[in-house]
Structure 1
């Protein structure tokens, strides 16, 4: 069910934290996980002819990489990003979903997660993949709504990813979807994703051109194991979130989307049998031609931060 609007939570919480073909620019400066000053990281690597994952800073997605390919052509099936508290990965194909890597350690681990023989679906010393996404938008992925119909954005004429920043306190990358043929429109869409140290999520900015009217942005939260969406007005932002034993192995997990109230349109739910996106709570935001719209996604996994077994504790860290 959809819960009624709640008052802003004033709970203060102190959580511990440390401090056609590919065109690729390769890098040999993998982030060292032993350096305590490194608190953000992006892993972007592709399998080469020697069956090894080689890190890069820029790729154009292979034209035939539309459906899921196994063994994975890209480490983690696409880009992975993290800070000391939480990690994420994207299925860089037509699914275009985002998954969560729950972390029990504060050092950077995504460079080695997703290697062959590394089963991130089972608990390890660093943590595990915590989310079952199915055909949903997962952990804050996006789609377009045009005149009431939902459209995925995972299959464009050309899709490019570029790491734009990778530092100790902040890292960011840009996804470019060029030539999306949707509802009689040809749309180009830029999706910036960044993560900062000390937070429990990531921030995104979406800019689309080629819009002709009737378009809006939807940002999703998978609801395969949740039946309640909580809504909050918090510091001039609209927040929608879930909380409960909804992670793999029934661990407690909170997931939240927030947008500026000025950009908020409405929120809703896509049913389990819906196509092309199913089992998703969504927040809908305004989308104007050439104008950036932003949102934040927050995730709290209790094995990494036991405070998040309490819904009030998770709500307190949502930005």
Structure 2
């Protein structure tokens, strides 16, 4: 028996070696190693795997299912460039400090139904008396903003996106501000928020529901995570106020890029944004995944003249305390903690996490003008170079308790910044 065993072992190894070589030649990957080299425990850590890493020839037709210890890892594929073929596998998973996970990859025809933890909601109507219908994209000319139309075309003034912790919305009607929905439950909010029983646009989200409500006043700021340019010491808003009838952006194009159980992605293109006699082209991508009271925003601008500074906004409406600034990981965190909600009714912590590299400090917006009531983090710009940052909102009535305490929120923000700074190493074999 022993001699037979000695004979079988090299034969088995030889067969496995041949199979491995053939698999590699065919571009087939069977295992993926995910390594957390940091000393931090990571919960719902987002990991993206480029298609070329696991499907080297780009010909796979099935879904790449990852499993760890026989348990499927929640994931989805994203088509980021809109060519009809997925570009990346996006997943969230937990890591212990210094943990290395060897996960199994299996190509399956049927995509598993993972728990839905992110969502995008967007609806519009063709006319004032027409019902709102779901949509996935929109093109907004300069002369079709809210004031010019005389009615609100969009459900919730534009798209909303959320995860199991918090929700946000973007004013697509020309204002381009970012608002906050406080959530009391982890479930995805109803699809009919912002419309009535007749299908008409209705502001019904400034009242409390079981799931929560809109809690954040925006006014003439650009909200939490909106942005602008500083040109020759003047703040230039991307877009207009609700009282303006013509946009300073010639054409705004919006699209839901992806909506899935663990990641939702939105994109905006602003064509010929006129500011200080120049015309800029802007591309913006917004992404959210489970587990964090935040979203990620990425912006690139072309047409720069060299005298522009990028400004990331932290609205300070209803704030009666000083702004906090702290370094954490790869970020500088600017944060507020006060009764920042409507009528100062509830405590809300808000923050922006901007890249530490290049950070030039912050300025405060004036009390009057096109963009007011904000702290604005200053960052350098290069043509077509992406700037990524995060916007954070922790409401005291959120499912996770503790946000009513300023020290708790500060700790949450700094810990989040450190977690987001950790890069998971991906190796495929």
Provide the TM-score with structure 2 as the length reference. 0.64
Larger radius of gyration: 2
Aligned length: 290
1:206: Cα distance to partner?
0.5
Which residues of structure 1 form unaligned runs of 5+? 1-11, 20-34
1:312 match: secondary structure: helix
Q: Which moved more, 1:246-255 or 1:47-56?
A: 47-56
Aligned to 1:239: 333
SS in 2 for 1:143: strand
**Is there any run of 5+ residues in structure 2 with no aligned partner, and where?**
1-40, 45-73, 75-112, 197-201, 240-247, 418-429
Displacement of 1:118 after TM fit? 5.8
| Residue 132 of structure 2 is aligned to residue 47 of structure 1 | no
1:192 to 285, 289, 310: 285
Q: 2:361 aligns with which of 253, 260, 266?
A: 266
Is 1:106 matched with 2:168? no
Match of 1:96 in 2: 176
Residue 127, structure 1, aligned to residue 221, structure 2: no
Would the alpha carbon gap of residues 114 and 70 (structure 1) be closer, same or farther in structure 2, given more than 3 Å must change? farther
TM-score by length of 1: 0.85
Output the aligned Cα RMSD: 2.3
Q: Which has the higher helix share?
A: 2
1:76 matches 2:162: no
- Whether contact under 8 Å (2:314, 2:351) holds in the other structure is yes
Name 1:25's counterpart in structure 2: none
Counterpart for residue 37 of structure 1: 115
Q: Is structure 2 residue 226 aligned with structure 1 residue 141?
A: yes
1:251 aligned onto 2:346: yes
For 2:411 and 2:289, how far apart are their aligned partners in 1? 18
Measured against aligned partners, the alpha-carbon deviations of 1:102-139 in whole angstroms (never above 9, x if no partner) come to 11111111522111356111111111110111111211
Q: Secondary structure at the match of 2:287?
A: strand
Relative contact order, higher structure (CA 8 A, sep 6+): 1
* Inter-CA distance 314–170: structure 2 relative to 1 (3 Å threshold): same
Q: Which residue of 1 aligns with 2:395?
A: 301
Contact conserved, 2:154 with 2:173, CA < 8 A, in 1? no
Please show how residues 60-75 of structure 1 align to structure 2 within 5 Å: 60-68=139-147, 71-75=151-155
Aligned counterparts of 2:385 and 2:274: Cα–Cα separation in 1: 20
**Matches of 1:171 and 1:259 in 2, distance apart?**
21
